[in-house]
Structure 1
Amino acid sequence: MSDREVLVYNAKLAEQVERYDEMVELMKKVVEEDKELSVEERNLLSVAYKNVIGARRTSWRVFGGLEGSGQIRANPKAAGPLKRYREELESEINKVSTEILELLDKYLIKPNIAADSRVFYLKMKGDYYRYMAEFAVGDQRTTVATKSNEAYEEASNIASQLLPTHPIRLGLALNYSVYFYEIMNNPAKACQLAKAAFDDAIAELDQLSEESYKDSTLIMQLLRDNLTLWTSDAEGEGKGT
């Protein structure tokens, strides 16, 4: 096995035992070889960072909910520690996001790569700027929200080269619609984007390849779930990939 194959093999082992911080370090080394990633390698990179940041985003949402809860009014002394924990999580989310964004810009988003790879990486770029925008304030929020939109928009333009049923194109539409709903507070645009992606995919369902069937239909279900949520009176955050 080559050094690269060993890194990928160990990353897959790390995924199986849910040691995602180690998985991130292994995939960083693969990326830093500055060679185009295979589909398997880019998926491993995505899974590693998604899990590392996902746990922190979930914790941040819990702390945010606790800060506004009756528990704090009943026990004001808890406010200080909660605020400190939340700020630590925000710092960690920013650190992880900045790290993957640097890898994307330096090694992965290149003009000569295939359309599906370019959309995949630009979507990731939009996602991680979106994660930072979830808690950023003032000028910083404007900056990261704008960069998120720019990445999603560029990805969307290229995604028109992919079939409407392609899981990467569908995943992009799903997350871009969540961006409009949660970051831009624009439910009309979010619904418009999600509905168009869902309807376009339904219209060409007969072109859905067997290997993409599971991924594509799962994302279509998430698009439909979000549309149901966003067009009802219930309030809630949308589901992204």
Structure 2
Amino acid sequence: MIWLNSWTKLQRPLTLPSLLLKKNLLSIAYKNFIAGRRASLKRIRSIEKKETKKGNTDNVSFIKDHRVKIETEINNICDRIFNLIDSHLLPNASTDDSKVFYLKMKGDYHRYLFYSKTGAARVQAVKDTLEIYKSAQVIALNLPSTDIPRLGLALNLSLFYYETLMSTKVACLTAKEKYDCDDAGRLTMRQSLNYTQ
């Protein structure tokens, strides 16, 4: 957590290799930081459901308190990354690749918020996630079809449709569309390689 906090205080300009390394390290650090909490939340909700069915009100009360703490931690982590992305990373992103990377990351954390929210806040998390992913898709059109952040965005958008919105059909169409686009990109690359040989 100390490393994550010190990242936000970074003021000096970075060289491209340094920036790429730090961008990837930041993403991995936050992903690892939140992954355990997401898994815990999933497990504790399952236990809470079982205990509620059994009618164990004392256990349910204790579990609910613990669940709320985990949800609060997830919300705080997400708020931190949103602040970092909105205040520092996106305004200083000079390439479409970086913009897509950070927007995808922001969309991912809005997707994680979905699981820690209820009611109107949950609906808002879905709207925010979709809006951010769509913004990233528009910028990603400027990138080669085989670009890593563009591929990651397509994968995560498909996962969002499948896991969060429970829309298997749209998830499959999104993935197929990306695959077809990538296939065309690979064909163009092969043709240009054959032409130059």
Q: TM-score range by the shorter chain?
A: 0.7 to 0.9
1:21-36 matches, within 5 Å, as 21-30=1-10, 33=11, 35=13
Q: Distance in 2 between matches of 1:160 and 1:50?
A: 26
Q: Distance in 1 between matches of 2:101 and 2:37?
A: 23
Q: Percent identity?
A: 34
**Which residue number in structure 2 is paired with residue 233 of structure 1?**
none
Kept in 2: contact 1:164–1:200 (CA 8 A): yes
Kept in 1: contact 2:106–2:132 (CA 8 A): yes
Q: Which runs of 5+ in 2 are unaligned?
A: 191-197
Confirm whether residue 173 of structure 1 aligns to residue 179 of structure 2. no
Kept in 2: contact 1:90–1:135 (CA 8 A): yes
Which protein has greater RCO, CA pairs closer than 8 Å, 6+ apart? Answer: 2
- Give the count of matched residue pairs: 186
**Which residue number in structure 2 is paired with residue 237 of structure 1?**
none
Confirm whether residue 135 of structure 1 aligns to residue 116 of structure 2. yes
**Which residue number in structure 2 is paired with residue 100 of structure 1?**
81
- Structure holding more helix per residue: 2
How far is the alpha carbon of 1:127 from its aligned partner? 0.8
Q: Distance in 1 between matches of 2:105 and 2:13?
A: 18
TM-score under structure 2 normalisation? 0.84
**Which residue number in structure 1 is paired with residue 167 of structure 2?**
186
How far is the alpha carbon of 1:182 from its aligned partner? 2.5
Q: Distance in 2 between matches of 1:76 and 1:183?
A: 29
User: Which residue type is aligned with residue 105 of structure 1?
Assistant: D
Q: Classify 1:157/1:126 alpha carbon distance in 2 versus 1 (closer, same or farther; 3 Å).
A: same
Q: Distance in 2 between matches of 1:153 and 1:34?
A: 31
TM-score under structure 1 normalisation? 0.70
Q: Distance in 2 between matches of 1:85 and 1:55?
A: 14
Which deviates more, 55-64 or 131-140? 131-140
How far is the alpha carbon of 1:98 from its aligned partner? 0.5
**Which residue number in structure 2 is paired with residue 144 of structure 1?**
125
Q: Distance in 1 between matches of 2:151 and 2:13?
A: 27
Kept in 2: contact 1:101–1:125 (CA 8 A): yes
User: Which residue type is aligned with residue 116 of structure 1?
Assistant: D
User: Which residue type is aligned with residue 40 of structure 2?
Assistant: S
How far is the alpha carbon of 1:34 from its aligned partner? 6.8
How far is the alpha carbon of 1:196 from its aligned partner? 1.5
Kept in 2: contact 1:72–1:78 (CA 8 A): no
Q: Distance in 1 between matches of 2:92 and 2:2?
A: 30
Kept in 2: contact 1:34–1:107 (CA 8 A): no
Q: Classify 1:64/1:99 alpha carbon distance in 2 versus 1 (closer, same or farther; 3 Å).
A: same
Two-structure CA RMSD over aligned residues (Å): 2.3
1:207-218 matches, within 5 Å, as 207=189
Which digits, 9 at most, give the CA deviation of each residue in 1:35-69, with x for residues without a partner?
46711111111111111111111110111111122
